[in-house]
Structure 1
């Protein structure tokens, strides 16, 4: 399983509710969550088969900005 992290502008529960139907259309997502308390509004997605590009496309289709989160030094080690 692969975990992706993205910086977004999904900043409240209403925004999460708006993006939910788009995320549910992606077969192969095991789980997803948006940390709205984080200043970068981090979307974390775990999947066996969905690509980073497919996630980005769906979030943009829902009307939100999204970009891959920058990896820290420790993330590159593992």
Structure 2
């Protein structure tokens, strides 16, 4: 399994609800989480065959920003 992290502007549970369909499609259900307590609002994705660019595009399509950090 690969683990990727993205700095995002996802700030609340409402934002998470907005990106959930796109992230579930791109990464798979239960393969991602956003740390809302982190100052950088880090999204961590753990999936076997997911490309970072695909995740970034899914987040941006939902109206948010993402920058891969790891």
TM-score normalised by L of structure 2 = 0.91
1:32-72 CA-partner distances (Å, limit 9, x unpaired): 00001100000000011110010000000010010012x5x
* CA shift for structure 1 position 28: 5.1
Gaps of 5+ in 2: none
| Alpha-carbon distance in 1 for matches of 2:40, 2:27 | 26
Q: Which has the larger radius of gyration?
A: 1
Root-mean-square deviation (CA), in Å? Answer: 1.5
Which structure is higher in RCO with an 8 Å CA cutoff and minimum separation 6?
A: 2
User: What corresponds to 2:67 in structure 1?
Assistant: 67
Matched length: 70
Q: Which runs of 4+ in 1 moved over 3 A?
A: 27-30
User: What corresponds to 1:16 in structure 2?
Assistant: 16
Gaps of 5+ in 1: 72-78
Instruction: Show the 5 A alignment for 1:3-42.
Output: 3-26=3-26, 31-42=31-42
Please say if residues 29 and 46 of structure 1, whose CA atoms lie closer than 8 Å, have aligned partners that are also in contact.
Answer: no
